[in-house]
Amino acid sequence: DGVTEVLAHHSESLQDKFVEIPCSEDYDSHKRFEGCTPRKCGRGVTDAVITREEAERIRRIAERGLSLGGSDGGASILDLHSGALSLGKHFVNLYRYFGDKIQDIFTEEDFALYRDVRLRIQQRIAQAFGISSASMYLTKPTFFSRINNTEAKTTHDEYWHPHVDKVTYGSFDYTSLLYLSDYTEDFGGGRFVFMDAGSNKTIEPRAGRVSFFTSGSENLHRVEKVRWGTRYAITISFTCNPDHGIGDPVL
């Protein structure tokens, strides 16, 4: 399937792995923020920021939220910031749709854990790229994803197409993924693939594993189709532009 190198096996626990690559020109067509906008580009993986136990607790938040809805196709989305939740072939606003019942589904502890995890990931990215974490802002969309092998019903279900985050979402400068389930144990397929010229490099998900990368064309990527089981992850993205910043979700 064209994967020539595994950057991170699911069976290994990586302290820190970082690969620097030349930046694309994508950042030049946006306002630059010195000390944040990527001048050093690359991709990293770590199993040392979030514990497997924390990943399990975060996954339970995703499971509870997504149990309220879910897509008819293979990919379901839950965005705690905007309230967007897949429901059939559409999205609903979780907070408006379920109102006060939300208090029965999520707790203050859930949201505190979510904020803590987001902050640690932000600090790790800042450290890897040599920037100040205070210059980075959470940006939208930031969301949980649940993917299984159900046939796609809408274009939202077609998660496997190659794409560039900076092109898809202009605000993105740094993208991260926190995996909440294990490749080969919880699901088959569903690996994350960087599509480099002449070769592909893959990350095998593992609960608690964080992969992060600069969001430009230097990191063209896709996710393989999930063949069996269920893959949970959360995408957390950052911008250097304070105008595109969002706050942490609150209950």
Q: Which residues are catalytic?
A: 231
DSSP letters spanning 105-171: H--HHHHHHHHHHHHHHHHHHHHHHT--GGG-EEEEEEEEEEE-SPPP-SGGG-TTS-B-HHHHSTT
Instruction: Give the helix/strand (H/E) hosting 93.
Output: strand 90-93
Token code pair at residue 194? 């960087």
DSSP letters spanning 171-236: T-SEEEEEE-S-BTTTEEE--EEEEETTEEEEE---TT-EEEEE-SGGG-EEEPPEEEE-EEEEEE
Measured between alpha carbons, how far is 241 from 37 in angstroms, rounded to an integer? 9
Token code pair at residue 132? 């100040």
Measured between alpha carbons, how far is 93 from 80 in angstroms, rounded to an integer? 10
Question: Cα 247 vs. chain centroid, distance in angstroms?
Answer: 17
Measured between alpha carbons, how far is 34 from 36 in angstroms, rounded to an integer? 5
Angle, to 10 degrees, between the axis of helix 108-129 and the axis of helix 52-66?
A: 130
Token code pair at residue 86? 């897949």
